[in-house]
Amino acid sequence: MAHDIRIVTETELRRAITLDLETVKVIEQAFAALSDGGVVMPPVMSMDLAAVHGEVDVKTAYIPGFDGFAIKVSPGFFDNPKLGLPSLNGLMILFSAKTGLVEAVFLDNGYLTDLRTAAAGAVAAQHLAPKVVQTAGIIGTGVQARLQARAARLVRPYDRLLIWGRDADRARTCAADLADLECDIHVVDTPENLVKASQLVITTTPAKTPVIEAKWLHPELHITAMGSDQAGKNEIDPQALVRADLYVADRAAQVEQLGELRSAIEAGIWTKGAPAELGDVIQGRARGRKNDAEITICDLTGTGVQDTAIATHVMARLAGRDVGTVITA
């Protein structure tokens, strides 16, 4: 029973979809669905390939009402740079949620993951940052540093952007790459100065020891920590989670294992129980920011619903368009 399968490459995907408010909306809907219940999202399948200095993660989620569900495979092979290859790559497969048939293979090398991760940052800022953000701060200088700066500006059109990274040269390159945002961009000398001057801070690092100290927290601050996605990573001083007026998770069961909350639990200082989830805040089932003065933190570890949402969204965008290669199988 042959049917058509669309194969789309990274180049084709980059032309077809970018980071915009529509993408943010799609990811917001995914989190809202997660709160509604009925989502089937198995734990991440992880394969640690120590012998080849690699790892492979598989994520998926079924969301009621969505036409398809995605299965995403994300390999990370950390000796690749020696071969002139990127460490991270991978693909997403979109299946019909009605028949289980393969509908599309997105050979995105991680591009759609980058997008859906950035969009989640925008969703967090939209629902948790102070209404007016004059200064935003980005910690880190990689792909997500750039994308998170752009994503935040879609929902909080800041005038000033501060960037800090361990490597000042890379921070300057990052700032230069963001010049088209046409706002005031500065590379700052310490994360402390960045946090103290910002109303919205996004951490995008693979740090294993905190880059933000609790004592830097101040009224009218929202922090989104999106770097931690594995046990062992930790971007924010565990005391900061306790001190914040509100700490929100993308997925409570996941931040306890892979996110910032893990360190706070291990340090024995977290006594508030399971944190609220972003979807619950979106749906009004959990409280969000009460006023401008509060300090809020959102912890993003990455969820399968985001993958299913972005893949379904891409498929809808491509409908009726001659993009990719169609194979009958």
Minimum gap (Å) between residue 124 Cβ and a second copy: 26
Indicate the residue among 97 and 181 with the shorter CB distance to a second copy: 97
- SS3 for 263? helix
- Rounded least distance, CB 87 to a second copy, Å: 8
Distances in Å between the Cα of 328 and the Cα atoms of 23, 34, 103, 317, 321 are 29, 34, 10, 21, 17
Residue 2 C-beta: closest distance to a second copy, Å: 8
Q: CB 4 → a second copy: shortest distance, Å?
A: 11
Residues 238 and 256: their CA atoms lie apart, in Å, by 12
In single-letter form, the type of residue at position 47 comes to: M
Nearest residue (CB) to a second copy, 77 versus 216: 77
| Residue closer to a second copy (CB basis): 10 or 20 | 10
Q: Which of 107, 96, 112 is nearest to 17 (CA)?
A: 112
Q: Which residues bind a second copy (CB under 8 A)?
A: 1-2, 5, 7, 9-11, 38, 40, 42-43, 45-49, 51-52, 54, 56, 58, 60, 62, 64, 69, 71, 73, 75-77, 80, 83-86, 89-91, 93, 95, 97-102, 105, 107, 109, 325, 327-329
Report the distance separating Cα 57 and Cα 46, nearest Å: 5
Q: What residue type is assigned to position 145 of the chain?
A: A
Q: Is 323 helix (H, G, I), strand (E, B) or coil?
A: coil
Q: Quote the CA–CA distance of 82 and 198 in Å, as a whole number.
A: 38
* Residue 312, CA distances (Å) to 18, 27, 58, 70 in order: 14, 11, 17, 8
What is the spatial distance between Cα 146 and Cα 166, in angstroms, rounded to a whole number?
16
On the CB side of 31, how many CA atoms lie within 13 Å of its CA? 32
Distance CA 35, CA 263 (A): 25
The two three-digit tokens of residue 178, written as one number: 């963001």
Looking at the Cβ atoms of 53 and 272, the one nearer to a second copy is: 53
DSSP 8-state class, residue 219: S
Name which of 148 and 306 has its Cβ closer to a second copy: 306
Residue 184: how many other CB atoms lie within 10 Å: 12
| Nearest distance from C-beta of residue 114 to a second copy, angstroms | 15
- For residue 151, the minimal CB distance to a second copy (Å) is 25
Q: Which is nearer to a second copy, 58 or 214 (CB)?
A: 58
d(CA 242, CA 264): 8
- Least Cβ distance, residue 160 to a second copy (angstroms): 35
CB of 74 to a second copy, least distance (A): 9
* Separation of alpha carbons 21 and 19, rounded Å: 7
State which residue, 244 or 318, has the beta carbon closest to a second copy.
318
Nearer to a second copy, 76 or 142 (CB): 76
Nearest approach, Cβ of 35 to a second copy (angstroms)? Answer: 17
For the chain, the 3-state helix, strand and coil shares in percent, each to the nearest 5, are: 40, 25, 35
| Angstrom distance (rounded) from CA 74 to CA 238 | 28
Which residue's CB is nearer to a second copy, number 63 or number 221? Answer: 63
